[in-house]
Structure 1
């Protein structure tokens, strides 16, 4: 995507901006102020502002955004600076607390998708600049490294979008299945060996006798992964069920991922398992949000949690 294309919004990017900017701003006036802050001239905003003043119900946030974006996108040369600044404000948007609470995860997902389209992820941008300035920028190894970083950045952004999209899914089965896919993708990105969900059948034709959400390998140690998206916190019953799978496998350990946290009984059950040399690390989805938002290394994060479980007997730590 060359510079001209980047700042003359193509249809896909244009529609994403129309959907995103209203969500980033709570009120109609705030939408206009957002455009004004990006340097959009008052002559392009005045009629809309006057319309709101005379009848605030005469137009909605999305119509305001579409009208202004259409105006600055029609003249390719006249509004390059404004389009560039507006795009910069969207992709650098970090504080989503100004959004309505119900829109915050959706807003994060949309901004992540826009970042991916315009290729402005900070890490890749720095690598591109380094490529242009470094003496070895034409070497095969260097180009390969840049390509790997670009691919990894795109994978992380796509996984972010899919992760935040989970919170808008109301069907439990669909949400649970997609949660498995998102987390397996995240593990793979950070080099954690993954075996996706599998079912074990009985030897005598009993059909499926055991279902496991996934298996990962960290430091040559196998961990059976269980994921639950429940309304209530995970208690001892679910913990003991997963421990049963661990006890039936030599040298296996476990990880339990919950969307709703863990009750005291669940945490106690995990601590008691340590007495039997079984490590069961407890993790909630808030930790994955923290990892994604702060660009932490997932592998190192889990290694720290595992050390905390072994040394301090704290299976539910947040390093």
Structure 2
């Protein structure tokens, strides 16, 4: 039943309490003491004590209960603690032998009704609290998702700025190293496992093999080679990378070129697909991914599917379709 938000007890509960409390107390003084025991202030009870002292017949047990309960209800949140304590005293009342004999059965029934009303109200309260918790959880999830989106956007922006700064660099070796480092951070942004560049050496310490990096995605390991040349990569650097793959079990290959690939290099990779997965990527694809803030992991998955199923190691995603 609708009631003013300041009234924490609905009318049906007010009526039950007004009828019950006088039955639980044999005398008018007992009613006042019962209310005082729940924390009702003397400011509310004082007038009734005075009336009882002057003329006990001028006020009834029911009037005392009705007036005090009404004023407690009108106190809103200020009287919440007293209302809860008073309701607890009534619902936990067990010794009905203290009531007048003729009132005991009726008092027991009214207390049972109040317990039922309070139980239903508590059930609705718990359901509302659960709905509130679910609502807060959804809000928290949305806030977390938005915070993660802003975080990723800031990282994409930072990577774009770093990549842009590489183009005017004149030292090709330094530029290549910077690009490798940038790509490692780009891979890590999507949760792709990364092992940065390393060198395999012979027993005498001489470098035998330089690996630009290794990434792991969906249980698949990719040996990565990055090239920033002025001309399209010919068959020689591509073949050297494929040779590295042949000396390792269960390893796929990923090459990223800033200048594209020659037709013979692509054709050689297509033949190599009968033995190993080889993926050819271009720097311009990654530039577009950064600009659009799209997933590098999804890009590599699609490139790998194209290589495996369509025998197309070199597809420019986002560029040629």
Point out where structure 2 has 5 or more consecutive residues left out of the alignment. Answer: 1-133
| Partner in structure 1 of residue 249 of structure 2 | 250
Q: Is the 8 A contact 1:234 1:260 kept in 2?
A: yes
Count residues with an aligned counterpart.
Answer: 184
| Partner in structure 1 of residue 197 of structure 2 | 197
Question: How many angstroms apart in 2 are the aligned matches of 1:182 and 1:205?
Answer: 32
| Partner in structure 2 of residue 215 of structure 1 | 214
Map 1:71-86 → 2, pairs under 5 A: none
Question: How many angstroms apart in 1 are the aligned matches of 2:269 and 2:309?
Answer: 14
> How many Å apart are 1:171 and its aligned residue?
1.1
> How many Å apart are 1:156 and its aligned residue?
1.0
Question: How many angstroms apart in 2 are the aligned matches of 1:295 and 1:166?
Answer: 19
| Partner in structure 2 of residue 173 of structure 1 | 173
> How many Å apart are 1:147 and its aligned residue?
3.7
| Partner in structure 2 of residue 292 of structure 1 | 290
Q: Is the 8 A contact 1:136 1:142 kept in 2?
A: no
> How many Å apart are 1:207 and its aligned residue?
2.6
Cα-to-partner distance string for 1:109-131 (whole Å, 9 max, x where unaligned): xxxxxxxxxxxxxxxxxxxxxxx
Question: How many angstroms apart in 2 are the aligned matches of 1:292 and 1:281?
Answer: 19
Map 1:264-275 → 2, pairs under 5 A: 264-275=263-274
SS at match of 2:238: helix
Q: Is the 8 A contact 2:156 2:293 kept in 1?
A: no
Question: How many angstroms apart in 1 are the aligned matches of 2:201 and 2:227?
Answer: 22
SS at match of 1:163: helix
SS at match of 1:262: coil
> How many Å apart are 1:150 and its aligned residue?
2.8
Q: TM-score, normalised to structure 1's length?
A: 0.54
SS at match of 1:168: coil
Q: Is the 8 A contact 1:257 1:285 kept in 2?
A: yes
| Partner in structure 2 of residue 235 of structure 1 | 234
Larger radius of gyration: 2
> How many Å apart are 1:148 and its aligned residue?
3.0
| Partner in structure 1 of residue 315 of structure 2 | 317
Point out where structure 1 has 5 or more consecutive residues left out of the alignment. Answer: 1-133
Question: How many angstroms apart in 1 are the aligned matches of 2:230 and 2:184?
Answer: 22
Q: Is the 8 A contact 2:159 2:290 kept in 1?
A: no
Question: How many angstroms apart in 2 are the aligned matches of 1:215 and 1:164?
Answer: 24
Cα RMSD for the two superposed structures: 2.0
SS at match of 2:276: coil
Q: TM-score, normalised to structure 2's length?
A: 0.54
Cα-to-partner distance string for 1:49-72 (whole Å, 9 max, x where unaligned): xxxxxxxxxxxxxxxxxxxxxxxx
Question: How many angstroms apart in 1 are the aligned matches of 2:240 and 2:205?
Answer: 20
| Partner in structure 2 of residue 123 of structure 1 | none
